[in-house]
A and B are shown apart, each in its own frame.
Chain A
Amino acid sequence: MKNSFKILAVAIAAALAAGSAHAETLRIATEGTYPPFNFVDASGQVQGFDIDVANALCAEMKVECKIETFSWDGMIPGLNAGKFDAIVASMSITEKRKEAENFTQPYYQAGAVIAAPRSVELETTPEGLAGKVIGVQRASSYGQLLKAKFPETKIREYDKNEEHNLDLAAGRIDGVMAQRLFMQQWLDSEEGADFEAKGKAFFDTEYLGPGAGIAIRKSDTELLARFDAALSTIMSNGVYDEINDRYFKFSLKPGQQQ
């Protein structure tokens, strides 16, 4: 009993005091379910391209960083509410999100694809996708794109990307629309062997934006400038390329694609 009161007291203290901003510890949010960009391994460590970029940026800015995982649909509300200072979670820079947050320059450009079974002919045109059930992550930019460009498509929303892949593999849905490299990694895996990317990749900046950026609260303009400067540095001094090569065979650096 005594112990549970102790726990209670600690919890209340933590709830009330944890937030007080310590000098120069940045709290960074990521998702943890988006390999190879961010994922959790068996030891509970969050890893991936996003994490390496975030750590490189923090080293460049000479600040301490605490990277934690949060649910995807809680990212923007969490940033606005002040739960953390930056989102480094492969978040596409979109017009709609820019109403809520500021973004740094893009740190990678991936585009989107629709993946479907190899055995099925699927035209990625409004007619070809009419009536088809396509899975996307809730609160993702792909849902917006589908809604606008393929109005006859039935959209099914998932909490996590891994879940729509499970459902695609199970045959519950006709296809999945997601980020190109994330999907490529899955298509190359054992689970995704019977599936392929259909048609051309999507690069509609109107919906997908110019790439993935780091989201910062509107009020933190100074922090935004520092992140931007640090990004420019690591993209020119070779640090970025080195991280890139750890995960991908080709460069993700914005402006060097296709």
Chain B
Amino acid sequence: MIDLHGFGGLLAEGTWMTIRVTLIAAAAGVSLGIGVALMKLSASRLLRFLGEVYTTGLRGVPVLLVILLFYFGAIAAVNSVARTLGYTEFIDVSAFAAGCIALSLAFGAYAAEVFRGAFQAVPKGQIEAARAIGLSRLKTFVKITLPQVWRLALPGLGNIFLVIMKETALISVVGLDELMRKTQFAVDYTKKPFTFYLVAAFIYLGLTIVAMGVTALLESRANRGFAIDRRQA
């Protein structure tokens, strides 16, 4: 057994923080992705342009840089905006908030592309049919489009989830106490970099396996109807 020199608890705390940040970024990123995908598919040229700027910008810049920018820059920006709105109390953007925002934005940019593809893959005929039998636009979207988009987007979203989970390690650079930084504390204290980074690597690997399992489960659920169809055919 590997000797963790009493740092096991600290690593567990870090792992929990990593999981929290990943889940927040995923939840925010999925909503953001749907929104931006709709912008990119809208008739408005301005919305399409804004959507394009967002996805190109965030997909073209390293996440490390985005995190650093948010950590250093967002506070000043947020507070100056708040002050012009007449809000005088100080608003803090912690390493946690900066990391969550940066990763949510990155998740959103990748997810937008996945959702755009998925929206386009829903047959137009179905939407026309739904409208023809008198479903409202909103109902058509919620009842016909979204469930299918979810099914089509799931594999892509699963991949993004795995990428973002690993990128949470970068928030350690601005001092968030997630798994990577807790590992560094252990390395500083014990001078055993190989041991602890390897342990951390296997924790990430474990998280990856769990995430892959959950994705597979969600996919098989979303594909229920399709699996039966194929068997009957």
Residues on A lying within 8 angstroms of B by beta carbon are 4-5, 7-8, 11, 14-16, 18-21, 32-33, 35, 39-44, 69-71, 74, 77, 81-83, 159-160, 162, 166, 191
Contacts and interface: CB of A to CB of B under 8 A. Distances in A.
B89 A7 contact: no
A16 B92 CA distance: 7
Contact of A19 (B27, B89, B100, B175): B89
B224 to A, nearest CB: 18
A20 B90 contact: yes
B75 A83 contact: yes
Interface of B: 5-7, 9-10, 13, 20, 23-24, 26-28, 71-72, 75-76, 79, 89-97, 100-101, 173-175, 177, 182, 184-189, 191, 193
Contact of B173 (A16, A32, A71, A82): A71
Given A11-B100, A71-B173, A74-B71, A18 B92 contact: yes
Contacts of B175: 69-71, 74
B72 A77 contact: yes
A166 B193 contact: yes
A39 B188 contact: yes
Nearest to A40: B185
27 contacts: A4-B27, A7-B24, A11-B24, A11-B96, A11-B100, A14-B96, A14-B97, A15-B92, A15-B100, A15-B101, A19-B92, A20-B90, A21-B89, A32-B185, A42-B5, A42-B6, A42-B10, A42-B186, A42-B189, A44-B182, A69-B175, A81-B75, A81-B93, A82-B90, A82-B92, A83-B92, A162-B188
Contact of A191 (B94, B177, B185, B191): B191
A5 B23 CA distance: 9
A160 B27 CA distance: 33
Contacts of B6: 42-43
